[in-house]
Amino acid sequence: MTIATAAWPLDWHEDWASYEAKVRDWVQRGIDKGADLLVFPEYGAMELASLGGPEGAADLDRALDEVVAHRPAMDALFEMLAMDTGRHILAPSGPVIEDGRRLNRACLYGPHGLIGHVDKAIMTRFEREIWHVEAGEGLRLFDTALGQIGVLICYDSEFPLLARALCEAGAEILLIPSCTDTLAGYWRVKVGAMARALENQCVTVQSPTVGDALWCPAIDENRGTAAIYGPSDKGWPDNGIVAEGAPDVPGWVVATVDLDKVLESRGNGAVMPFMHWPEQAAQAADVRIFTEAPVPGFAEDRHDS
């Protein structure tokens, strides 16, 4: 299967036609590169806030509400593109309102339409304390013609048990859409994505937002690199990087992966962390604390020196 993962710039749009043209162009360029699966980033939907004008886009609550208002049209657009092209597409995540709660939702579409959605499970401090976006309930595994696909939205990738649960359920690929405004944030997600590929002997796919969108304080700065990772094991790149773009440069990063190699790594890898994962429990349950006996006069002598 060929995967295209987007480093997605957040652009200003004067009208819906501008946004639709951009999306159509990106999808077509991904298909031209041979992609069977196209992956878009976390909060990529936030550029729809520009349709509310400068004042609305500059206000955190109004920006979210504007995106929510256009969400049905965005969902319909990506569903139509997936069906018309016969591709699988993880659309950009963005806010929805459900039972009075703000959620950060990403939808996966296939040749037959909507496959399902996933809501971000663990919220960052900004989402909790300022934006008041709430956590979803549970994880989702998508059984598709391409393979077993799980989605961990940005911060979720930094929590190993979420990925483990998806992979124990059968996930061979973990899609990790991200939106980070600092290099430190980008590296946290990158390290998480690579670690999840290592632990679960699977493929992980990071799709970030990139560039400045100073017209909206929620997404004003974006740092990242699109990449596809695998386990550092025989049959995979030694460094675990299957494909990686340039930092902060918009565009598609594309690679072809063989999911049979995931099964091979899990069943007969040079190391087998996926199989050996349960062995942690007994060791972790037996933590012994040893306290060094003080050496008379040592602390005082060290201080004096």
Residue 14 to residue 252: CA distance in whole angstroms: 25
Give the pLDDT score at 305.
Answer: 44
- Total residue length of the chain: 305
Which residue type, as a one-letter code, is found at position 122? I
Tokens coding 44: 């990529």
Q: State the catalytic residues.
A: 42, 120, 154
Give Cα separations from 244 to 156, 196, 251, 301 (angstroms): 21, 17, 11, 53
**Residue reference for tokens 């971000």:** 120
- CATH number of the domain at 2-304, out of 3.50.50.60, 3.40.50.300, 2.40.10.120, 3.60.110.10? 3.60.110.10
Enumerate the β-bridge partners of residue 155.
Answer: none
- CA 40/CA 175 separation, integer angstroms: 9
Helix, strand, or coil (residue 83): helix
Can you give the pLDDT of all 305 residues of the chain as single tens digits? 999 999 999 999 999 999 999 999 999 999 999 999 999 999 999 999 999 999 999 999 999 999 999 999 999 999 999 999 999 999 999 999 999 999 999 999 999 999 999 999 999 999 999 999 999 999 999 999 999 999 999 999 999 999 999 999 999 999 999 999 999 999 999 999 999 999 999 999 999 999 999 999 999 999 999 999 999 999 999 999 999 999 999 999 999 999 999 999 999 999 999 999 999 999 999 999 999 988 887 655 555 44
Residue 247's closest CA among 158, 180, 198? 180
- Give the burial class of 122: count Cβ atoms within 10 A of its Cβ; 0-12 exposed, 13-18 middle, 19 or more buried: middle
Rounded distance, CA 114 to CA 76, Å?
9
Which residue in 258, 228, 252, 226 sits closest to 242, CA to CA? 228
